[in-house]
Structure 1
Amino acid sequence: MADLDHEISQVTRLKSSPHQRLSREVPGRHQLPVSTVRMLAGRESNFSGRGRFSAADCCHMLSRYLPVKGPWLVDQMNSRAYVSQFSTDGSLFIAGFQGSHIRIYNVEKGWKVQKDILAKSLRWTVTDTSLSPDQRNLVYASMSPIVHIVDVGSGTTESHANVTEIHDGLDFSSGGYSFGIFSVKFSTDGRELVAGSSDDSIYVYDLEANRVSLRTVAHTSDVNTVCFADEIGNLILSGGDDNLCKVWDRRCFIGRDKPAGVLVGHLEGVTFIDSRGDGRYFISNGKDQTIKLWDIRKMSSSVPPKHEVNRNYEWDYRWMNYPPESRDLKHPYDQSVSTYKGHSVLRTLIRCYFSPAHSTGQKYIYTGSNDTSVYIYDLVSGDKVAVLKHHSAPVRDCNWHPHYPTLISSSWDGDLVKWEFSGSGEAPIMSEKRVRRRHFYY
């Protein structure tokens, strides 16, 4: 893929490139990284006029230290890992498994299990988790209209449902009918939850009133993913099995079932959305085996009348490979800014993310893959900069530490493993376990 010719490419370069007097432009070639020695010399000479490294200088240096060494074992379970996430400050890590366990690890204490939660009334698997902004409460969802909330700020380590503490059930159905929740997120103020469900809807749950405050029929098929577009929390993004990404403005939710905008381009269902956090850009993973980068300002007010692409075959991503004849198809109304290919989105709702702003300037995007690997792409060039191989089953989720060159991959083989930048290639001091390979048969 050629270099991205869009405003976001310039923004990304500004956030992750050193002062222009240190850069070396070579016509016809990608700009080469500036050496650490040259940057230190520039700081001593005060090229920037600040007398110190700028945030972009720091990102330029840190973004070269990719978390590709290892892996080192964090935990092994006899159950598929479905979801995982770092807390906002990186001090905690949460992983949810199909066999009912949700484990919270204290990253700063050598990845010690701080709390082992046994999920209540689980249906199929833990489909999503979300940690409240104050990091005291965790919600978890499954293929049920009941979302449970647990206090994770207490001192106990073990947390068995309704034995040592209460798992409050939040009923999203408001009418007793059954559906599953694929995605759930705390609002930025921690007072509400937003969820995407198998009944094609988005729900908003008011935690103070303890009730559903809004239900919107958002898509014509399963809503696989929801998230907020920025820290303010007015814009909600959603993606579904109708192949569409939609933008919802909470200030205009009175117009029931009417999104603020629609973005067309995926040929198959959308499995996950991650926002860049600026209210403009987001990425989505699709069952068409692509990640797409979107600019919200390009959205349409309605779905094009012929947005579906005609195909003369039937396939199911849960058990079939993607048809080879579809790999080079392009949607005639594609509104995406860029497309990234190489990974595999099959069997499960595989997740993708922007790399951290603090350490990389969000110059990479990364994703799990059905082919048991983690892929890291350069946002601007589209190049695959790393493929992390260890697991023996699909990698459904993976997470980059918000401040350090550390990435955790979680797989259906039950392994949580840590990838880091380690100059010597030896295991970091806080990680005492070496990876022990084992094979599962499903």
Structure 2
Amino acid sequence: MLAGREGNYSGRGRFSSADRCHVLSRYLPVKGPGLVDHMPSRAYVSQFSADGSLFIAAFQDSQIRIYNVDRGWKIQKNIQAKTMRWTVTDTSLSPDQHHLVYASMSPIVCMVNVGSSQTESLANVAEIHEGLDFSSGDDGGYSFGIFSVKFSTDGHELVAGSSDDSIYVYDLEANKPSLRILAHTSDVNTVCFADESGHLIYSGSDDTLCKVWDRRCFKAMGRPAGVLTGHLEGITFIDSKGDGRYFISNGKDQAIKLWDIRRMTSKATCIPGHRSSEWDYRWMDYPPQAKDIKHPSDQSIASYRGHSVLRTLIRCYFSPACSTGQKYIYTGSHDAGVYIYDLVSGARVATLKYHKAPVRDCSWHPYYPMLVSSSWDGGIVRWEFPGNGEAPQPFSSRNRIWRRHFS
């Protein structure tokens, strides 16, 4: 690699993107942790912005904090959300990083202007939090809750998964829902766009199924483009690789699964008797006898086990494309840890232990070997390599690599 650099084999006078990924992927963010913040409430959401300059954390007490990573984790925005039902279930930052939407167990998703000069943002007192109504308007406004919400890549739409078994697409320019899909037979806990085109949507539900929806032909077909079976219990989260082909899902059967949508079928394969109607992950441990049960028609291409998915909708992700080549999968866990798995071998390569309560969400910086975990103990902490306890220096946008690299 060094000889190639010195000989300018790439013709660009620098290391290739693949070389940088190869080197950086060896440095796991396992040293620490360093405390970012501690709140007297459960942390439900924690995410870096796409460029890594901002970090968003949302808590059960309706508090949402946006930290400026490039300025030493200074609080850039302290948002007091509108009256919540239960908690802030999800947040999403617009691609231009000017607006943040947040959801709860209500059909109203609120939007905040993140780019304003105001640090304190008290809903409809200090600033306007625009309410986006995903309901039909004839149900009293509280007919369902939203578990998951995501901006489209162009920032013109939102996609949401709800407790009324549906997927909603909201047109921000028209300021109204443009599509409702009665997608599953139980709560839709997670949704996301498959790639930058916005045509494909992935969904995961408590009915144990992952589904792929193609908006270009949905009105003609009236059904999903395909279904993927393999989980024995409900699905808590889905993360797309971004290539419109691969994604991962976290399941209440205590496993992450890797999927290739080219394996999807038109119908789901039912497995009567394999699910326990008496088991509830919210307050019961996973039955030991169920750990050895395998789905007879599992369409996934790999499974990753060792973490615990109990009490809450724990999230999992691919590691960043630019710094690791998406070589790893990482997830929070009910046992208060963060687990990192090798994508290809399935081996657990690191376990991060610090918290005293479930880690629902965690986020890997898109360019640095730094990971931040958030927990029900109220703690937001960062793990780094080599980890000197200081915030990274601002990363010039001229040096950022925007093109994704997939195998």
> TM-score band, normalised by the shorter chain?
over 0.9
- For 2:50, give the aligned amino acid: T
2:139 aligned to 159, 176, 184, which one?
A: 176
Deviations 1:126-184 (A, max 9, x none): 00001111111111000001111111110110000111111111111112251100001
Question: Hey, what's the Cα distance between the residues in 2 that align with 1:430 and 1:236?
Answer: 34
- Shift of residue 51, structure 1, vs aligned partner: 5.2
- For 2:203, give the aligned amino acid: S
The root-mean-square deviation of aligned C-alpha atoms, in Å, is 1.6
Say whether residues 1:60 and 2:60 are aligned partners: no
- For 2:47, give the aligned amino acid: Q
Alignment correspondent of 1:43 = 5
- For 2:79, give the aligned amino acid: I
Counterpart contact for 1:309–1:331, Cα < 8 Å: no
Alignment correspondent of 1:334 = 298
Alignment correspondent of 2:385 = 421
Say whether residues 1:193 and 2:178 are aligned partners: no
Question: Hey, what's the Cα distance between the residues in 1 that align with 2:35 and 2:368?
Answer: 18
* Ranges in structure 1 where 5+ consecutive residues have no aligned partner: 1-38, 432-442
Query: Superposed, which structure 2 residues align to 1:216-255 within 5 Å?
Result: 216-255=181-220
- For 2:116, give the aligned amino acid: S
- For 2:280, give the aligned amino acid: D
- For 2:305, give the aligned amino acid: K
- For 2:258, give the aligned amino acid: L
Counterpart contact for 1:291–1:341, Cα < 8 Å: yes
Question: Hey, what's the Cα distance between the residues in 1 that align with 2:264 and 2:390?
Answer: 45
Counterpart contact for 2:72–2:390, Cα < 8 Å: no
Counterpart contact for 2:232–2:275, Cα < 8 Å: no
Alignment correspondent of 1:104 = 66
Query: Superposed, which structure 2 residues align to 1:249-264 within 5 Å?
Result: 249-255=214-220, 257-264=222-229
Q: Kindly tell me the number of residue pairs found equivalent between the two proteins.
A: 390
Residues 427 and 209 of structure 1: CA distance in aligned 2, closer, same or farther (over 3 Å): same
Residues 429 and 285 of structure 1: CA distance in aligned 2, closer, same or farther (over 3 Å): closer
Deviations 1:76-127 (A, max 9, x none): 1000000111111111111110001010110100010000000002110000
1:355 aligned to 319, 330, 346, which one?
A: 319
Identity percentage of aligned residues:
75
- For 2:278, give the aligned amino acid: E
Deviations 1:359-378 (A, max 9, x none): 00000000000000000000
Residues 317 and 124 of structure 1: CA distance in aligned 2, closer, same or farther (over 3 Å): same
Residues 311 and 232 of structure 1: CA distance in aligned 2, closer, same or farther (over 3 Å): closer
Counterpart contact for 1:217–1:257, Cα < 8 Å: no
TM norm structure 1: 0.86
Counterpart contact for 1:396–1:411, Cα < 8 Å: yes
Counterpart contact for 2:42–2:377, Cα < 8 Å: yes
Question: Hey, what's the Cα distance between the residues in 2 that align with 1:182 and 1:163?
Answer: 26
Alignment correspondent of 1:204 = 169
Residues 256 and 156 of structure 1: CA distance in aligned 2, closer, same or farther (over 3 Å): farther
Alignment correspondent of 2:397 = none
Counterpart contact for 2:258–2:301, Cα < 8 Å: yes
Alignment correspondent of 2:400 = none
Alignment correspondent of 1:271 = 236
Residues 309 and 255 of structure 1: CA distance in aligned 2, closer, same or farther (over 3 Å): farther
Alignment correspondent of 1:24 = none
Question: Hey, what's the Cα distance between the residues in 2 that align with 1:414 and 1:54?
Answer: 41
- For 2:380, give the aligned amino acid: L
- Shift of residue 50, structure 1, vs aligned partner: 6.0
Question: Hey, what's the Cα distance between the residues in 2 that align with 1:309 and 1:173?
Answer: 35
Counterpart contact for 1:216–1:256, Cα < 8 Å: no
Alignment correspondent of 1:126 = 88
Question: Hey, what's the Cα distance between the residues in 1 that align with 2:160 and 2:276?
Answer: 34
Counterpart contact for 1:148–1:167, Cα < 8 Å: yes
Say whether residues 1:412 and 2:383 are aligned partners: no
Counterpart contact for 2:165–2:182, Cα < 8 Å: yes
- Shift of residue 308, structure 1, vs aligned partner: 4.2
Counterpart contact for 2:73–2:391, Cα < 8 Å: no
Alignment correspondent of 1:77 = 39
- For 1:127, give the aligned amino acid: T
Deviations 1:291-342 (A, max 9, x none): 00000111001112x3445356721100111011111211001000100000
**More displaced 10-residue stretch of structure 1: 45-54 or 282-291:** 45-54
Is the partner of 1:267 in helix, strand or coil? coil
Question: Hey, what's the Cα distance between the residues in 1 that align with 2:219 and 2:9?
Answer: 53
Query: Superposed, which structure 2 residues align to 1:310-325 within 5 Å?
Result: 310-311=274-275, 314-325=278-289
Question: Hey, what's the Cα distance between the residues in 2 that align with 1:86 and 1:53?
Answer: 26
Alignment correspondent of 1:163 = 125
Counterpart contact for 2:232–2:274, Cα < 8 Å: no
1:135 aligned to 97, 100, 118, which one?
A: 97
Question: Hey, what's the Cα distance between the residues in 2 that align with 1:120 and 1:51?
Answer: 52
Deviations 1:205-258 (A, max 9, x none): 111111111111100000000001101111000000000000001111214751
- For 2:144, give the aligned amino acid: F
Alignment correspondent of 1:346 = 310
Deviations 1:250-308 (A, max 9, x none): 1112147511100000000000000000000000000000000000111001112x344
2:334 aligned to 370, 375, 392, which one?
A: 370
- For 2:45, give the aligned amino acid: V
Question: Hey, what's the Cα distance between the residues in 2 that align with 1:358 and 1:430?
Answer: 16
Is the partner of 1:399 in helix, strand or coil? strand
